Amino acid sequence: MLPASRLLSIGEFAAATQLSPKALRLYDEQRLLPPASIDAASGYRYYRSDQVAIGRLIRTLRDMDMPLTDIGSIVTAEGVKAEVLLGQFAKEIDRRYARGKRAFQEALVLLRGATRSDILEVTERTRASMTVAVRAFMADRHEFVARFRTELRSTEELLAGLDIAAAGAAYCSLVDPLSDEEGRLEIVIPIETPREVPEGIAIRQLAAAPCAAIAIEARHTHASDLTAALDALFDWFDRRGHRAIDAPLVSIDARDGALRTELMWAYEPHSPLSR
């Protein structure tokens, strides 16, 4: 092993770390891996031999397609914090892979001309008429589940403070499509009809209506799962001549370490007389 006091030229350091001189100059500009010394006359960069391990770590993290900002957080972290940050990024890699795999399967379905309702099981039910408390919030497709849970807890606490009892499972109304941009969503909770309309919450009446539903059971629920289910429900309506009404409703229930997500969409049945 080389002594820590020895200085390496940029060529030696590049060979030892398998980082190109161009990359090393970039990491210097980003203050991610500055050289130990720069010759004032020649401008040559020199590195300490104990920086080789850091250089190899940066190279490996770049092989994971990790952004430089995240690499900087890991390199400068102390103790086990760096390992925690690395573990969080690894989980994000798994999530991206899962999203990509689902998108690949969806692309195959579309290329082969199949419909989502051929693959996902659609069940029929009747939505009873109900009084619901409604509270709007904003979320994009990446934060949807976490934001829904947070807003649901907040809404339930608000209702409890107003002495309004829930009369059924809560839903999220997909007023706007889930996308990379924040869209408008709504917490929808069935309640007993209150004597007075509380501030901060809207009260609506939902009429009884036939519904089509798809259930998804998995450890994690992603917006792409809901997109596939929405595609399937729309295909199911289209093949039967039904017309979707209201916004789709999503319920998320945690059971035995897994999530059971259900998407329910009310519709107006096709009538030959309407044509």
Given this model, what pLDDT does residue 239 score?
85
For the stretch 160-179, pLDDT in tens is 888 888 998 999 999 988 77
How far, in Å, CA of 234 to CA of 214, rounded? 12
Tell me the pLDDT band of 137, cut-offs 50, 70 and 90. very high
Query: Which is it for strands 171-173 and 249-255: parallel, antiparallel or unpaired?
Result: antiparallel
Q: Are 130 and 266 found together in one domain?
A: yes
As given in the structure block, the two tokens for residue 105 are 């399967």
Cβ proximity of 208 and 162 under 8 Å = no
Cβ proximity of 170 and 240 under 8 Å = no
Q: Are 192 and 234 found together in one domain?
A: yes
Residue 275 pLDDT > 50, yes or no? Answer: no
Q: Are 45 and 170 found together in one domain?
A: no
Q: Which of 19-28, 49-58, 102-111, 185-194 has the lowest mean pLDDT?
A: 102-111
Q: Tell me how many degrees the CA angle 64-66-69 measures, rounded to the nearest 5.
A: 160
Cβ proximity of 35 and 45 under 8 Å = yes
168 within domain boundaries: yes
Task: Please state whether 97 falls in left (phi above 0), alpha (psi between -120 and 50) or beta.
Answer: alpha
Tell me the pLDDT band of 258, cut-offs 50, 70 and 90. low
91 within domain boundaries: yes
Q: Are 129 and 101 found together in one domain?
A: no
* Number of compact structural domains in the chain: 3
Question: Residue 72: CB partners within 8 Å, gap ≥ 6?
Answer: 30, 31, 32
Given this model, what pLDDT does residue 253 score?
80
72 within domain boundaries: yes
Q: Please state the pTM of the whole predicted model.
A: 0.60
Give me the percent of the chain exceeding a pLDDT of 90: 39
Task: Please state whether 257 falls in left (phi above 0), alpha (psi between -120 and 50) or beta.
Answer: left
| Nearest alpha-carbon partner for 96 in 71, 68, 66 | 66
Q: Are 127 and 262 found together in one domain?
A: yes
The pair phi, psi for residue 33, each rounded to 5°, is -145, 75
Q: Are 136 and 227 found together in one domain?
A: yes
As given in the structure block, the two tokens for residue 91 are 């989980």
Q: What domain range is 93 assigned to?
A: 84-114
Pairwise pLDDT comparison (224 vs 237), residue with the higher score = 237
Residue 139 pLDDT > 80, yes or no? Answer: yes
As given in the structure block, the two tokens for residue 31 are 């203050």
